[in-house]
């Protein structure tokens, strides 16, 4: 009996699927990348500053390859380290995170936490990611207090629901942040009000880039918001990009820099990890980002009252 063309075609599809799954789980999720980007956000005349953005490590104690790669980032000698949460994926992962960060903890730093600092991962139907309103079931509690204590003891600033000041790279940086909006833990009223106009940089931190929070930050005059959470989509398609963002932002902003409102930049990290229950990345390598912040360009054409106006706010969301 002759086989029709359907049987070989199905076999080819199955083989391609198996190869893609193997690549996504065994190769790409461990193909850590350092991204670089330059953002014009500083006050005119300020010295440039290099900021290392880390997010979504989702660390397990056994992930020695990831730990070694993160440890090497200290050689970049960033002026400031920003960590936007989801560091943990296991109750005993705190020592692994602290040891991986190594010398970075001795540099100026600021952080906020995400849902997977507070609660462990749980197995769930991946199709739920396509439903923004699906019920979220928290996993077992994680030792976030121990992680916070380690960060603070080494000198990093907890920006959760606080306005604080950091000096880094010769710049005065006003930092404010919220707890994870993905868990509805954000309380923007605790930090609301105009950001410090005298600062060289007004920096806003949130784990999840939820539009309601970003709108508040933009309205209060922050220059740059930094977030994580999205994993860059984690499973992406060529040309099309991310299938989902797992939050309220659109797919075009799922990772990297973008404009939010007239004057605020947004940077979303695709992160360095995955849930242990979904250990795959496809067309979305795990990443850390080294941002070079430079002064915003100024249009020398005078306004009606004779003041120069910034050109860096061109474009709106």
Q: How confident is the model at residue 14 (pLDDT cuts 50, 70, 90)?
A: very low
Task: Give the model confidence (pLDDT) of 259-298 as tens digits.
Answer: 999 999 999 999 999 999 999 999 999 999 999 999 998 7
What pLDDT, on the 0 to 100 scale, is given for residue 67? 98
Per-residue confidence (pLDDT) for residue 315, from 0 to 100? 38
Distance CA 19, CA 23 (A): 6
What would you report as the CA-atom Rg of the chain, rounded to the nearest whole angstrom? 21
The tokens describing 291, both together, are: 């941002």
Using alpha carbons only, give the angle 284, 93, 180 rounded to the nearest 5 degrees: 60
Q: Note the pLDDT tens digit of each residue in 211-267.
A: 999 999 999 999 999 999 999 999 999 999 999 999 999 999 999 999 999 999 999
**Contact at 8 Å (CB) between 206 and 227?**
yes
Instruction: Name 34's bridge partners.
Output: 288
Mean pLDDT across the chain:
89
d(CA 63, CA 42): 37
Q: How many CA atoms lie within 13 A of 314 on its CB side?
A: 7
Strand order in the sheet with 264-268: 163-168, 171-177, 201-205, 224-227, 264-268, 256-260
Any idea what DSSP says for residue 249? S
Work out the average pLDDT over 103-120. 98
Q: What is the pLDDT of residue 173?
A: 98
Alpha helices in the chain (DSSP H): 6-22, 64-71, 94-101, 115-118, 144-153, 211-219
pLDDT tens-place string over residues 121-163: 988 766 666 666 666 777 899 999 999 999 999 999 999 999 9
Report how far residue 6's alpha carbon sits from residue 110's, in angstroms, rounded to the nearest whole number. Answer: 57
Q: What is the pTM of this model?
A: 0.89
């Amino acid at each position: 009996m002759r086989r029709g063309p359907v049987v070989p075609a199905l076999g080819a599809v199955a083989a391609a699927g198996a190869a893609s799954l193997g690549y996504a789980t065994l190769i790409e999720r461990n193909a850590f990348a350092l991204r670089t980007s330059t953002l014009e956000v500083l006050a005119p005349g300020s010295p440039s500053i290099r900021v290392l953005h880390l997010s979504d490590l989702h660390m397990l104690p056994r992930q020695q390859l990831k730990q070694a790669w993160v440890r090497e980032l200290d050689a970049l000698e960033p002026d400031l380290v920003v960590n936007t949460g989801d560091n943990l994926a296991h109750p005993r992962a705190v020592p692994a995170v602290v040891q991986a960060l190594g010398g970075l903890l001795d540099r100026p730093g600021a952080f906020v936490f995400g849902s997977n600092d507070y609660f462990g991962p749980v197995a769930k139907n991946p199709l739920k990611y396509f439903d923004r309103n699906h019920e979220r079931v928290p996993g077992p509690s994680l030792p976030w207090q121990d992680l916070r204590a380690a960060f603070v003891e080494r000198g990093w600033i907890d920006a959760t629901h606080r306005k604080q000041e950091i000096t880094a790279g010769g710049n005065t940086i006003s930092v404010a942040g919220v707890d994870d909006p993905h868990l509805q833990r954000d309380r923007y009223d605790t930090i609301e009000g105009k950001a410090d106009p005298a600062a060289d940089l007004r920096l806003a931190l949130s784990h999840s880039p939820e539009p309601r929070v970003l709108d508040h930050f933009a309205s209060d005059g922050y220059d740059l918001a930094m977030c994580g959470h999205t994993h860059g989509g984690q499973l992406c398609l060529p040309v099309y990009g991310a299938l989902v963002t797992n939050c309220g932002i659109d797919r075009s902003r799922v990772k990297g820099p973008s404009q939010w409102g007239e004057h605020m930049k947004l940077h979303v990290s695709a992160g360095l990890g995955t849930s242990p229950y979904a250990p795959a990345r496809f067309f979305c390598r795990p990443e850390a980002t080294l941002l070079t912040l430079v002064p915003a360009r100024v249009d020398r054409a005078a306004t009606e009252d004779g003041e120069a106006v910034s050109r860096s706010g061109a474009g709106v969301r």
